[in-house]
Amino acid sequence: MSESSTTTSRDLRFGSVGVGDRLPEMRHVPTRLQLFRYSAVTWNSHRIHFDPDYAAHEGYPDVLVQSHLHGAFLVTLCTEWAGASGRLARLEVSVRRFAVPGDVLVCAGEVTGVEQVDGTHGLVHLSVTETRESDATVCAIATASVALPL
Amino acid sequence: MPVDETLLDSIRTGIGSERTHSLGEITALTIRRYARAIGESNPLYYDSEFARARGHADIVAPPNLVTAVSSWDEGPAAADLRADGTPKALQLEGLPTSGVRVMGGGEDMEFHNPITAGTAVVERTTMIDAELVQGRKGPFIVVRYRHEFVNDDGLPLVTSTRKVLLR
């Protein structure tokens, strides 16, 4: 699990961002314990996320990472990059393939567009992915928009 | 139940109708536990003083918290859960409760304003549209819902548009 936090110190500015910039990658290795706590705090009682026997019955190798946990990993990628002065304005996420505990999930992103909104802020558009490191399977893809001060 | 024009027409009668329900207060404990569960260490989610120094009234919720919660109340008794652990009574307005397979199909979230601890949140859910698609593995229906999360004064916090697939 990634525990880095640059959020307190980074002060990213719109003017210092350009199309093609890459976000620092983040790695997450979900565990059964993490999935249990995520199901608990979201009051999600679906067995597919905590009962390995049920998951096997459905044909899966282990319990499945919740779709919103995939989303949360991508949120963190964006907010860590945006830093304290930035704000995540939008995230459109689509989960494509399942992931299970022990998978190394690599979150990566790239700036695809920049757009000045007004005299004080700009929007940066990002393309982000969450990929399983072992076989390069893309588990989730998203587009995001981050508001940054000029 | 066949996934066809008849089912689509019946689902479409629900387009435009809005359902509002109060989610209650987003507590500081829920925020901190959610942040812990996703592996976050950002002090904005844990440290009230840090959050106040950043101009917030208190700690703020990680952006996708409100869209991730499956149930805002105690949920049904164990006898009222399906074999897969989900509630027998489907919360999705206007969809058949059995005979079709329901799957999530992506989510588009707009974050308008941060949700600070202690905010009472109201969710307004609207079915936006429904269409029948001929897929390679057979027909399926795509239903889109808009979920608007607002505070007591109607200030928009998060708007989420979700696709639900029926096979």
Q: What is the pLDDT of residue B1?
A: 77
Task: Using the predicted structure, report yes or no on whether residue A143 has a pLDDT greater than 90.
Answer: yes
Residue A3: inside a domain: no
Q: What is the mean pLDDT of chain B?
A: 93
Residue A6: inside a domain: no
Instruction: Determine which of A59-68, A85-94, B131-140 has the lowest per-residue pLDDT on average.
Output: B131-140
Residue of A nearest to B157 (CA): A89
Question: Touching check for B46 and chain A: CB below 8 Å?
Answer: no
Global ipTM: 0.94
From the list B38, B87, B109, the residue facing A90 with the nearest CB is B109
Task: Using the predicted structure, report yes or no on whether residue A2 has a pLDDT greater than 80.
Answer: no
Q: What is the pLDDT of residue B103?
A: 79
Task: Using the predicted structure, report yes or no on whether residue A21 has a pLDDT greater than 50.
Answer: yes
Task: Note the pLDDT tens digit of each residue in A32-86.
Answer: 999 999 999 999 999 999 999 999 999 999 999 999 999 999 999 999 999 989 9
Residue A85: inside a domain: yes
Beta carbons of A3 and B41 less than 8 Å apart: yes
The whole-number average pLDDT for the span B127-135 is 94
More confident: A124 or B93: A124
Statement: the pTM of the whole predicted model exceeds 0.80: yes
More confident: B95 or B37: B37
Q: Is A40 left (phi over 0), alpha (psi -120 to 50) or beta?
A: alpha
Q: What is the pLDDT of residue B97?
A: 65
CB A14 within 8 A of CB A121: yes
Work out the minimum CA distance from A39 to partner chain B, whole angstroms: 9
| Confidence bin at A134 (pLDDT 50/70/90) | very high
Residue A145: inside a domain: yes
CATH of the domain at A105: 3.10.129.10
> Which residues are paired to B22 by β-bridges?
B122
Residue A36: inside a domain: yes
Strands (E), B27-153: 102-111, 120-135, 138-151
- Chain B positions touching A34 (Cβ under 8 A) are 37, 39
What is the spatial distance between Cα A137 and Cα A25, in angstroms, rounded to a whole number? 16
Residue A74: inside a domain: yes
Residue A1: inside a domain: no
Task: Note the pLDDT tens digit of each residue in B61-92.
Answer: 999 999 999 999 999 999 999 899 988 876 56
CB B17 within 8 A of CB B93: yes
Q: What is the pLDDT of residue B91?
A: 58
Residue A11: inside a domain: no
Task: Using the predicted structure, report yes or no on whether residue B133 has a pLDDT greater than 80.
Answer: yes
**A69 phi and psi, to 5 degrees?**
-75, -40
- Chain A positions touching B91 (Cβ under 8 A) are none
- Domains contained in chain A, number: 1
In chain B, what are the domains?
A: 5-166 (3.10.129.10)
**Residue A64: how many CB atoms within 10 A of its CB?**
22
Task: Using the predicted structure, report yes or no on whether residue A114 has a pLDDT greater than 50.
Answer: yes
| Confidence bin at A7 (pLDDT 50/70/90) | low
Beta carbons of B111 and A79 less than 8 Å apart: no
From the list B40, B43, B70, the residue facing A76 with the nearest CB is B40
Could you list the residue range(s) of the whole structural domain that residue A122 is in?
Answer: 18-149
Q: Read off the amino acid at residue A98.
A: F
Q: What is the pLDDT of residue B95?
A: 76
